[in-house]
Amino acid sequence: MKTEFPNIANSDKNWWLIDASGQTLGRLATRIAMILRGKHKPSFCPNFDNGDYVVLINASKIVVTGNKENDKMYYRHSQYPGNLKSFNFKKLRAQKPEFIIFHAVKGMLPKGSLGRTMLRKLKIYKDDNYKEKAQKPVLLNLKTK
C-alpha cells in the first residue's frame, strides 16, 4: 500500500460561510481554526496547508459567557514607555468586532509562515454583506443546543 502525501496538485479548497450571530466566541474560533488547518479532511497533514477558506459574517453579534463582556481585556502597546492601551470586550466589539475573532483564531493556528498562510484564508465581516459571493461559499451550520 502506498502512502499519499498531500500537495498542491491534489488539494481541493472549499469555501465555507459561517454566520456568527449568537455563537460563543471560543467554540466558534476552534471550529474555524480546525477548518483553516484542514483537520476535518482525511488528507490532513500537519506541515502542509490543506485547509479551506472561511467567510465569517455577523461578527458584531458574537457572544461570550459569564461576565466576560466586561472583564475580558485586550491590550495594545506601541513600545513607547507608558503607552499601554487596554480595551474590554464590550468596547472592542462596538469598535472592531473583526479583531476579536481574528485574535482568537490566530492564537489557535501554528506559529510561523504556515500559520500566517492559513490565516489569510479567513475573511471576517461585521455584518452580512461580504465580497466573496462569486466563490459560492456553502453555509456551514454550527448551531448547537
How far is residue 64's CA from residue 88's CA, in Å, rounded to a whole number? 12
**CA 55 vs CA 9, 71, 76, 112: distances in Å:** 24, 28, 26, 22
Per-residue confidence at 144, pLDDT binned at 50, 70, 90? low
Question: How many domains does the chain divide into?
Answer: 1
Residue at 69 is within a domain:
no
Note whether residue 90 is domain-resident.
no
Residue 59 lies in a domain: yes
Encode pLDDT of 61-88 as tens digits.
Answer: 999 999 999 999 999 999 999 999 999 9
Q: What is the pLDDT of residues 22-47, one digit of tens each?
A: 999 999 999 999 999 999 998 898 99
Using a 10 angstrom Cβ sphere, with 0-12 exposed, 13-18 middle and 19 or more buried, the burial of residue 118 is buried
Within a domain: residue 33? yes
Coil, helix or strand for 126?
A: coil
In a domain, 121, yes or no: yes
- Residue 32: CATH number of its domain: 3.90.1180.10
6 vs 21: CA distance, rounded Å: 34
**2-18 tens-digit pLDDT:** 887 888 888 889 999 99
Instruction: Classify residue 84: in a domain, yes or no.
Output: no
Which domain, by its residues, includes 124? 15-63+96-139
Residue with cell 485574535: 103
The model's pLDDT over 97-126, given as tens digits with 9 standing for 90+, comes to 999 999 999 999 999 999 999 999 999 999
Is residue 1 one of the residues assigned to a domain? no
Tell me how many helices (H) and strands (E) the chain has: 5, 6
Task: Please check whether residue 122 lies inside any domain of the structure.
Answer: yes
DSSP-derived secondary structure for 69-90: HHH-EEEEE-SSTT-EEEEEHH
